[in-house]
Structure 1
Amino acid sequence: MGVTKHDVEAAITSALSPSNLVVTDTSGGCGASYEIEVVSEKFEGKRLLERHRMVNTALAPHMAEIHAVSIKKALTPAQAQPQPEPAADKLQAEVLN
């Protein structure tokens, strides 16, 4: 059958111990194409290219069977936290004054 979503999740979890991981099979079920969003402390101090390489290294045993991998997000836990919207901050400041 090829590589399953579970295979991809297991490989990334084993290598990166993510606090959040979303793997989406974009191939229609054949396991040839995936989109990945991952949040991991192991990304701390790493540039985006290094983070993508870490994900690709985790998937290396499966890459012969995967046609495409799109890493949509590779974030640290701090980067994954919701950021307040500037407009909301401005409105809140106006209300307090």
Structure 2
Amino acid sequence: MDVTEIENILKEALDLAEVHVQGDGSHFTIIAVSDAFNEMSRVKRQQAVYAPLSDKIADGSMHAISIKTFSEKDWARERQFNLPQ
């Protein structure tokens, strides 16, 4: 599974302003940015990003996933320190 495929799955499933995925084999880091996250707890944010990928996790295409979620305002500040490669 490649990062572009994961980005496309997330873009189709969620209302994201930005999504950045880095991966190595079956291990991935995801940064998702959306103002929809403003109304969600940290757990709900993680669940929202995780849900569209559940089939890929179940079939072993994705094994380890690190998810970071930000509102657009928080990402404007955070990206200074957390720039995707």
- Give yes or no for TM over 0.5: yes
Number of residues of Structure 1 aligned to a counterpart in Structure 2: 76
**What per-residue deviation string (whole Å, max 9, x for no partner) do you get for residues 47-89 of structure 1?**
1110000010021121122111111x20111222228xxxxxx
For structure 1, the residue ranges without an aligned partner over 5 or more in a row are: 84-97
Corresponding residue number in structure 2 for 1:68: 64
Highest relative contact order (Cα 8 Å, sep 6+), 1 or 2?
2
User: Structure 1 residue runs of 4+, over 2 Å off?
Assistant: none
For structure 2, the residue ranges without an aligned partner over 5 or more in a row are: 79-85
Alpha-carbon distance in structure 1 between the residues aligned to 2:73 and 2:52: 22
Identity of aligned residues (%): 21
Partner-residue secondary structure (3-state), 2:39? coil
Q: Give the TM-score taking structure 1 as reference length.
A: 0.70
Cα RMSD (Å): 1.5
Is contact 1:39–1:80 with CA below 8 Å preserved after alignment? yes
**Structure with bigger gyration radius:** 1
Shift of 1:13: 0.7
